[in-house]
A and B are shown apart, each in its own frame.
Chain A
């Protein structure tokens, strides 16, 4: 059973509007969460992260929100740009994981239309 889930496989947004990508997790031991962005034929690249002691982290147009009680995090992109079109993966880690390995969600494909 997947411990990290991204229930929307795809999302389409108009340029300039807000994109909201969601992620749910089941393991209460997760204490660090990350978002990665992946373009076709490239490896994922780190985008933004958040520790479980925070509920919000902002970096330019990107903000990640964490709701620990709901075991839910979301990535907000404002304003969305065509260059943001990519697959976004959320990931989580816990100190109990062997090698502190990351557990990834299935990904959400974001399409930003000009």
Chain B
């Protein structure tokens, strides 16, 4: 059982470059989320999707975009990376909107230089 798969596991990126973090789930969960983890700040929600075809902004959406073309995939794109986007990124899913029990992927460590 894979659950949530994120790729890549880590990446070093030059500022100004475009980057897409991939996330795939095999649990057929309706809701998916992208969080970033920063020391002392915990996990902050970037974008979410309650169901395929819909997305919404979280707490820190600026500089990021998402799409939800189908149930399983929820990629996160940084159009022009900046050093402040250096972070660990976690994709998560839940059975439904308001399903507070989240299942997380293993994360992507991104460094923007």
Verify if B74 is at the interface (C-beta below 8 Å from A).
Answer: no
Given that A99-B31, A106-B42, A107-B42 are known contacts, is A46 also in contact with B58, CB under 8 Å in the complex?
Answer: no
Verify if A49 is at the interface (C-beta below 8 Å from B).
Answer: yes
Could you say which of B31, B59, B105 contacts A43, with CB atoms under 8 Å apart?
B105
CB distance from B55 to the nearest CB of A (A): 10
Determine whether the beta carbon of A104 is less than 8 Å from that of B44. Answer: yes
Q: Digitize A92-104: 1 where CB-to-B-CB distance is under 8 Å, 0 elsewhere.
A: 0101001111111
Verify if B62 is at the interface (C-beta below 8 Å from A).
Answer: no
> Looking across the interface, which residue of chain A has its beta carbon closest to that of B31?
A99
Contact-residue size bin, chain A (C-beta under 8 Å from the other chain): 20 to 34
Residues on A with beta carbons closer than 8 Å to the beta carbon of B107:
41-43
Q: Digitize A12-52: 1 where CB-to-B-CB distance is under 8 Å, 0 elsewhere.
A: 00000000000000000000101010000111111001000
Report the tally of A-B residue pairs with Cβ distances under 8 A: 74
Q: Can you name 10 A-B pairs with beta carbons within 8 Å?
A: A43-B90, A43-B107, A44-B102, A45-B104, A99-B48, A99-B56, A102-B100, A102-B102, A106-B40, A107-B40
Binding site for A on B (CB under 8 A): 4, 31, 33, 35, 40-45, 48, 50, 56-59, 90, 92, 97-107
Known: A45-B104, A93-B100, A99-B56. 15 other contacts (CB 8 A): A34-B100, A34-B101, A41-B107, A43-B92, A43-B107, A49-B101, A89-B43, A98-B58, A99-B45, A100-B99, A101-B33, A101-B59, A102-B43, A104-B35, A107-B42
